[in-house]
Amino acid sequence: MNVVGFVAAGMGISTVTATRILRGQKDGGPGENSRLEMEKFPYVALSKTYNTNSQVSDSAGTATAFLCGVKTNRGVIGLSAATELGSRNTSKGNEVDSILKWAKAAGKSVGVVTTTRINHATPAGAYAHSANRNWYSDADMPPDAIRQGCKDIAWQLINNIADIEVLMGGGRMYMYPNATPDVEYPQDPQANGTRLDGQDLVGLWYKKKPPSKVSCYIWNRSQLMELDPRKVDYLMGLFEPGDLHYEQKRNTSTDPSLSEMVTVAIRILQKNPKGFFLLVEGGLIDEGHHAGQASLALHETAEMDRAVGLAGTLTSEEDTLTLVTADHSHVFTHGGYPLRGNPILEQLL
């Protein structure tokens, strides 16, 4: 049995409606009567989103809820509501396990794919326990938290569940020692490594892998497309220092799309006869809405929906459960009385 969980960060009903029209118009129709891949599923439901201490949920608390089955406080990852934001003293002993760990215990392969940095709130909910979602590397942590034994999220990615088969997203800067030049942007100091502990976490990732297995670290689209999934056991792909670029703005020769990452991930994971669990986040939908950029958010949603369709063609309904959800919504309004077939982006921008 396999499970593929898609999380469209910040996608509400109005975003789905506008994306449906956008996709339909790109296909040459009026748009309103088209159907997204996610709308072809046999079941649909609504969910309530809130944190234990907040009416409006954030991605850390919701990731903990849907990946670990426990609601928690805003800004907290993989810890129960007994943990206060930023407090090590209230986090110890309140760790909660995620579906990623349950899947590994069942002998399944697991993977995490995102368009954000790999240690952002949603993907971190699969493997980390952090009293603050912003503790990406030790450079982002207060000294007292480090003295008390707290570990940053990038460190936990490599050490908490060591045998995650597939990891793809952004976040290179958090994996390398402070001031290490980035492989893609060596002249940009903003892209340099940030770690203060001097650790090379990519090198540590390699060391933790069994020598009998094939482990690959990649950082651009060409390397991803040249891979033979049949010959790769472990894959880490970090394609940007921070988050990936928006679908509308990405360099298509160097940066992979979400669909391309999902395709490779499934082909690697499905070699396990016991099945797999794959978490896929369309994380930049949320970023586009935060920036008030409707076009960016809708194209991100359309790309995630394209990945949903590809996942369906690569798997079988007989042995694979595919879920599509959002972690929360945004204040995004699609209203008024535009004529049928009105170009959706002219209306919204």
CB proximity list for 57: less than 8 A, separation 6 or greater: 49, 50, 51, 74, 327, 328
Q: Is the dihedral of CA 255, 260, 264, 269 positive or negative?
A: positive
Nearest to 14 by CA among 307, 331, 340: 331
| Catalytic one of 14, 47, 54, 59 | 59
Nearest to 283 by CA among 118, 173, 91: 118
Residue 11 contacts residue 326 (beta carbons within 8 Å): yes
The number of CA neighbours under 13 Å toward the Cβ of 321 is 6
* Catalytic status, residue 257: no
Give the H or E element holding residue 30: none
Helix ranges (H only) for 186-279 are: 201-207, 221-226, 258-269
Give the H or E element holding residue 109: strand 109-117
Residues labelled catalytic: 59
